Amino acid sequence: MAEYMILIYEDENGYATASPDVFQQVMEAHNRFAQHVEAKGGKMVSGNALQPTSTATSIRGDVVTDGPFAETKEALGGYYLIEARDLDHALDIAKSCPARFGGVEVRPIMVFPE
Amino acid sequence: MTAVPDRTGGAGFPGAAADSRSRGGRKVPGRRPRQDPAAAVADAHRREWAFVLAATARVAGDIDLAEECVQDAYVAALDTWSRQGIPDNPGAWLTTTARRRAIDVLRRSATLRGKLPLLIEPLPPVPGSAPPGPFPGDDVEIPDDRLRLVFTCCHPALAREAQVALTLRLVCGLSTTEIAQAFLVPEATMAARVTRAKKKISAARIAYRVPGTAELPDRLDAVLTVVHLLYTTGHTAPAGADVVRADLVERAMDLARMLHSLMPDEREVRGLLALLLLTDARRSTRAGPGGRLLLLAEQDMIAEGAALVPGALRGGYPGRFALQAAIAALHAEAPSYQQTDWRQIVELYGVLLGVWQSPVVALNRAVAVAMADGPQAGLAEIEELERDGRLADYRYLPAAKADLLRRLGRRQEAADTYRRALELTMNAAERDFLSRRIAETGGQR
């Protein structure tokens, strides 16, 4: 098994204008996803949602600025760290990761030699 | 390119070799004619590279190490075969040599292990097989891992251009220089592309395996698309370099034959092979100053291709390669362009559009409609495609439209439209043709 990070990129406007119903659906979808990872034979290591990029502070050198590192239409809004057998397995799991207003990116975790 | 192997030695085409081929150690049926060692090495490079590399990758567990060991084995072959004669089964000799080398390197240097590790599924134990000896490469049946290699190279997590480059490099054994030349990119760019793809296979753990039944149709489609892309790139190389071009066409044909021999029940693989055979037969017809001999070879290709078509179409909804092959067969078997069964071709394009909604297919259908129902009907369809906009920079759209305008006697519009096609065309032969048409329809060049 190896670790992969599923990075969730979404249009934040989607959530800013979403009704309570939509929020409810999204929460339920994420809860189902957590179970789904195990059902698929993978392992959920951790996962978190992030506050929107309006709360972000960036530091480059010594300079502290308000805002995210890069302005993009779809911003990183949360992540899951999972364990999977190989990339196909990780992709199979990530396909059911909720990302109603965008998509996800799957990245292998770098392993350093002992 | 690598030295062109002597293919007149009666050993048949590579697919035949693949069909009756060795599985490590077994003799190839029939006696190989005496050959010059250098030619035999070149021949084995062409026929056996994929088998040797795929089998060595299993032992090496590392793509780069496997490649190095296989290269070394070919170098060693030149020397050994010159002194001791050419072995009965060059592929098995090369595989054993490369695998021994890999095991050797792995034993000597633990640090090298896992430079670009490859995720290899263990083989299920073969009932009644002997336990592995001191050299696992020697006495154990060598599995045919060529399909694993192909599916790894064409994994959807790799960009299409990387899939193409890796397939040429790892499955066909072309050097980075050769691949760069074929695709008209700087060598450094191609080298970076190959390295990056190999790193991704290793770091993201793209498994060395043939996909399961559920994924197979999509994954196979990616493989067939790569092979077809190689063929069309060779077929319509944008500029010069005829040798490189012919080589890509042959590599694509070899790959299609190899896939067909390894997956004989896959209808789309059969469809692709048929399509390439039929298209290629017509390609040489068009090019052909070669006379009778060439014609016989063409007829063989057409017969072979056409014979594959029914099996590719039968048994459920036909796929896009099978349908294109069926269309190519109708073209190839028609006594002349005018006497082609255009009605049926229009039908087939209609079915093809159902499984593959490509504007290029729609354009081809429009051309067939013009032949079946007259230029006016075809023109209407092309104009609709123009409004769609997806083919805005596709040179064959104005070229086809101009031809219909010319046939309708609308000379000025035809000349203007030929000019638009000329602006989009780099290929010298096509530019000549379009310029002649512009002159004929009364326009200035």
Using an 8 Å Cβ cutoff, are A43 and A37 in contact?
Answer: yes
Sort out which chain A residues have CB atoms less than 8 A from B203's CB and list them.
108, 110
The partner residues of A104 in beta bridges, in order of sequence, read: A8
Amino acid identity of residue B445, one-letter, is R
* CATH number of domain containing A52: 3.30.70.1060
User: Does A90 fall in a domain?
Assistant: yes
Does A70 lie at the interface with B, CB-CB under 8 angstroms?
no
pLDDT reported for residue B272: 98
Cα–Cα nearest to B263, from B210, B316, B317 = B210
d(CA B405, CA B112): 66
pLDDT reported for residue B126: 52
Using an 8 Å Cβ cutoff, are B90 and B40 in contact?
Answer: yes
Sort out which chain B residues have CB atoms less than 8 A from A85's CB and list them.
205, 207
pLDDT reported for residue B3: 41
User: Does A29 fall in a domain?
Assistant: yes
pLDDT reported for residue B118: 78
Sort out which chain A residues have CB atoms less than 8 A from B204's CB and list them.
87, 106, 108
Paired tokens of B72: 């070394």
User: Does A114 fall in a domain?
Assistant: no
Q: Report CB contact under 8 Å: A91, B203.
A: no
User: Does A113 fall in a domain?
Assistant: no
Does B115 lie at the interface with A, CB-CB under 8 angstroms?
no
d(CA B45, CA B73): 11
Rounded to 10°, the helix B146-153/B242-262 angle is 120
Q: Report CB contact under 8 Å: A86, B206.
A: yes
Find how far residue B385's CA is from the centre of its chain: 30
Q: The complex's ipTM?
A: 0.86
Best mutation site among A86, A105, A109 for testing chain B: the one with the most B CBs within 10 Å?
A86
Statement: residue A57 has pLDDT above 90: yes
DSSP states of B194-241 as a string? HHHHHHHHHHTT-EESPPPTTTHHHHHHHHHHHHHHHHHHHHT-SSS-
Domain, as residue range, for A71: 2-108
Q: Look at strands A74-84 and A63-66 and give their pairing.
A: unpaired
- How close, in Å, is residue B327 to chain A by CA atoms? 36
Q: Report CB contact under 8 Å: A110, B203.
A: yes
pLDDT reported for residue B26: 40
Residue located via tokens 């209609």: B350
- How close, in Å, is residue B70 to chain A by CA atoms? 26
What Rg, from alpha-carbon coordinates, does chain A have? 16
Give the chain B residue nearest A5 (alpha carbons).
B204
User: Does A20 fall in a domain?
Assistant: yes
Mean pLDDT of A70-80: 93
pLDDT reported for residue B392: 86
Domains and CATH numbers, chain B: 1-118 (1.10.1740.10), 146-264 (no CATH), 271-283+292-333 (no CATH)
**Residue B346 CB neighbour total at 10 angstroms:** 21
Does A108 lie at the interface with B, CB-CB under 8 angstroms?
yes
Backbone angles phi, psi at A105, to 5 degrees: -120, 135
d(CA A91, CA B48): 33
pLDDT reported for residue B119: 78
Using an 8 Å Cβ cutoff, are B231 and B167 in contact?
Answer: no
pLDDT reported for residue A8: 97
Q: Report CB contact under 8 Å: A87, B207.
A: yes
Using an 8 Å Cβ cutoff, are B216 and B224 in contact?
Answer: no
Compare CB distances from A87 to B114, B204, B215 and report the shortest one's residue: B204
Sort out which chain B residues have CB atoms less than 8 A from A88's CB and list them.
206-207, 211, 215
Paired tokens of B210: 């043939």
Cα–Cα nearest to A47, from A59, A57, A58, A37 = A37
Using an 8 Å Cβ cutoff, are A2 and A111 in contact?
Answer: yes
Q: Which residues have CB under 8 Å from B355's CB, separation 6+?
A: B317, B318, B319, B320, B323
Q: Report CB contact under 8 Å: A87, B157.
A: yes
Paired tokens of B164: 């193409």
User: Does A50 fall in a domain?
Assistant: yes
Does A86 lie at the interface with B, CB-CB under 8 angstroms?
yes
pLDDT reported for residue B112: 54
pLDDT reported for residue A68: 92
Compare CB distances from A108 to B155, B204, B207 and report the shortest one's residue: B204
Q: Report CB contact under 8 Å: A108, B203.
A: yes
User: Does A26 fall in a domain?
Assistant: yes
How many structural domains are present in chain A?
Answer: 1
DSSP states of B40-81 as a string? HHHHHHHHHHHHHHHHHHHHH-BHHHHHHHHHHHHHHHHHHH
Mean pLDDT of A34-41: 95
**3 state SS of B420:** helix
Does B203 lie at the interface with A, CB-CB under 8 angstroms?
yes
User: Does A8 fall in a domain?
Assistant: yes
> Which residue ranges of chain B lie beneath pLDDT 50?
1-31, 129-139, 241, 243, 286-292, 445
